[in-house]
Amino acid sequence: MQIPVRVPEPEDEDRRAAQPEPTPAAEEPKPAPERPAPAQEEVDWRDLALRLQAEMENFRKRQQRLAQEQIASDRERMLRGVLPVADNLERALAHSDARDGLRQGVALTRDVLMQWLRQQGVEPLDPTGKPFDPAWHEAVGTVPSAAYGVDPQTVVAVSEVGYRLNDRLLRPAKVIVAV
């Protein structure tokens, strides 16, 4: 068996001569940067992936909650805008003749509107004879309690009906309170 031997060509010798010889200090091996064990590296990536997944889930839930709150807010604003229509229909009925055909049409319109409001979860507030509650009522006037024979701080009349949507106040009832 023959071992191949390479004979240096003159060009190779010229190149070697042009390169400076390494100094002993340069030959010292540099310490390799510390790398975590492969198992530790995998744990870090897995931990990062789990954290990112949890963060995305929290973001998704937060966006859903914000969207639901916006829908509820828009719904309340729309329903509040319809309440003056119900008030005006009530006023029209209070000031019309009993046998007038127009009155019957207004009454039917009011009934349909009130039915639709009930389907949406809106209920009128009837505080007459109940204690005054500033969270649900707005006092627009007072009368002496002796004139009506009721306890002080009792609602004796309603000047404008209030409404609530489920357990939230849409509009407070404007009331007259005995003092």
As a whole number, mean pLDDT of residues 133-142 equals 93
pTM greater than 0.85: no
Q: For the chain, what is the mean pLDDT?
A: 84
Over range 38-57, report the average pLDDT: 80
The closest of 135, 143, 144 to 173, measured between CA atoms, is 135
Summarize the confidence of residues 165-179 as an average pLDDT.
92
Q: How confident is the model at residue 103 (pLDDT cuts 50, 70, 90)?
A: confident
Supply the DSSP symbol for 19. S
Q: Are 79 and 171 in contact (CB under 8 A)?
A: no
Domain 123-179 has CATH 3.40.1830.10: no
Taking only the tens place, the pLDDT of each residue in 65-84 is 999 999 999 999 999 999 99
Residue type, 179: V
Q: Is residue 171 helix, strand or coil?
A: strand
Phi, psi for residue 144 in degrees, rounded to 5: -65, 135
Domain locations in the chain as residue ranges? 40-120, 123-179
Class of domain 40-120: alpha beta
